[in-house]
Amino acid sequence: MSHCQATYDSSKLLLADDTWRVQLHTTVDALVRLKPEWDRLVAQSDADHFFAQHAWQHLWWNHFGHDYALRLVTVRDETGRLAGIAPLMASHTDVEVTLSLLGGSEVADYLDLIVSREEAAEVRPLLLAAIREHLRWHTLDLHGLPEGSPTPDAILQQYSSNGVEVVVELEDVSPSVALTGSWHGYLASLGKKDRHELRRKLRRAVDDQEAIWHTVADEADLAVNFDAFITLHRLSSPAKAAFMTPQMESYFWDLARMTLAQGSLRLGVLWADDKPLSAAMGFAYGNRLYLYNSGYDPAYASHSVGIAAVGLLLRESAHQAIDVFDFLQGNEPYKYTLGGRDHPVYRVVSRRVQEECQTNI
C-alpha cells in the first residue's frame, strides 16, 4: 500500500496478494450484505459485545447515518472468508475529514475494529495500514474502545512512526458487577451497609407503594411500557429531557422492537396501579446484561423508585443466570452502591502531522 485514493467507488480493491484481499465499501448495500458474515466474525473477535453486532450497527446507521459517508474496510483471506472489519464513517460537513467508528459517541458505549482473534496479528495491522494509506483523513477519532482492546496499542505502534500524532486518553469508566450465580450470591458480595440500603430501598419503592415490577415479554405489551419508559426518562432530569428528542425516541422504539424480536430486550416498569413510577431498559448479550438507560418520576424520589428499577432489573438478571451486570459508561454514585467496579473505556485520536499525499476529495 503506497498511495491515497483520489475517488471512492461503491467498492474498491485496496490490496490483493496470495493471502489477503482488502476492500473499501462506501454504500449501505455493502453493509446490508455483510450481515451473516459480520455476526460470525463478531463472535470470533475481541469486540464481541452488544454494540458490535450487525443489527445494532445497521439500526444506528438507519437513524443517524444520513449525516455521514460510509467508509467500511474489510479484510478477507484467500478463501473469501471475512477476517476483519473497520466500520468507519466520515461526516459530510467536516472539511478536514475526521474518520470515526460507526455508532458515534452519543448512544454507543463500546466500539472497536472487528478482527478475528486467531488472525489478529496479521489482520489488525492490515486494516490500520489500509486506513492510513488509502483513506483520506486528517483525524482518526476512535471512541468507546473497551478495556482489553488491542486497538490503542496497535495504533500507537503502527502510526506513531509514520507521520501521525497519536493520543490515547481515558474517555470514561464503565462500572460492572459480577452476579456470582444468584441474587443471594450477589447480595452477599455487597458490603453490609450497601446490602441493607438496597433491601430498604426496594421495600420503600415496591412494598410501600404496593407496586408491581413488570418486564416486557411480548409485542402485546411493548407499546404501553415503552411509552411509560420514555415519559419517565424525560421526567428524570432536564438533561434527559433534552436528550430524548423525537429522533432519539424513534431510535429507542426501533431498538426496543429489534431487541424484543431477538429475545435480548430487558425493559421493566415499576407500576403502582396504572401509574408508572420508574423504568429501566437493558439488553442481554452473551453472559452480560447491558443497562442502557432508565428513568423515574421525581415526585416519588423519596421512595427511591429510580434505584429500585435498576435493582429489580439486576435481580431479574441474577435469576436468569447472567454473569455480569454492566452499568455502561458513567460514574454515577448509584452504580457503586450496587457493587459496580470501574473498567476503563479509551479514546484514541490520531492526527496526520505530515501528509502522505494530496487529493482533491
Q: Is residue 5 over pLDDT 90?
A: no
Amino acid 10: pLDDT? 72
- Average of per-residue pLDDT across 317-341: 96
Where residue 167 falls among pLDDT bands split at 50, 70, 90? very high
Compute how many other C-beta atoms are within 10 angstroms of the C-beta atom of residue 360: 6
Q: How confident is the model at residue 2, as a pLDDT?
A: 34
Q: Please give the sequence-ordered ranges of beta strands (E in DSSP) within the chain, or none if there are none.
A: 11-16, 20-25, 68-77, 82-91, 98-101, 114-115, 139-146, 164-173, 176-178, 212-215, 265-272, 275-285, 288-296, 324-326, 344-352
Q: Provide the whole-model pTM.
A: 0.93
Whether domain 11-173+345-352 has CATH 3.40.50.1220: no
Task: Return the CATH superfamily for domain 176-339.
Answer: Gcn5-related N-acetyltransferase (GNAT) (3.40.630.30)
Closest CA to 111 of 179, 50, 176: 50
Q: What is the mean pLDDT of the chain?
A: 93
Taking CA atoms, 176 is separated from 6, 122, 133, 223, 345, in Å, by: 45, 32, 38, 29, 12
CATH 3.40.630.30 residue ranges for the chain: 11-173+345-352, 176-339
- Cα torsion 114, 118, 121, 127: sign: negative
pLDDT tops 60 at residue 30: yes
Provide the pLDDT for residue 9: 52
